[in-house]
Amino acid sequence: MAASVISTDLFDQVTGQARIENDGQVVRNGSATTHAGVRCRGTYSSGQHLFRFKIEPLGNTKWMLFGIVNKRAPLSYDPYEQPTAYVWAGNDYVCTRGALQDDCKCYTTDMQMNGSFQFLVDCERKIISLRNERTSSIHELNVDVSKCAFPWQLYFNLYNEIDRARILR
CA dist 53 and 95 (Å) reads 20
Percent of the chain residues past pLDDT 90, beyond the cut: 49
Q: What pTM was computed for the model?
A: 0.89
Q: How many CB atoms lie within 10 A of CB 95?
A: 22
Span 17-60, pLDDT tens digits: 899 999 999 999 988 888 889 999 999 999 999 999 998 866 66
**Does 11-168 carry CATH code 2.60.120.920?**
yes
Residue 98: pLDDT over 90: no
Phi, psi of 61 (to 5 degrees): -75, -10
Reference 95, options 58, 117, 66, 129; nearest CA is: 66
Can you give the pLDDT at residue 61?
A: 65
**132 pairs with which residues across the strands?**
117
Yes or no: say if 64 and 110 are a contact pair by the CB < 8 Å rule: no
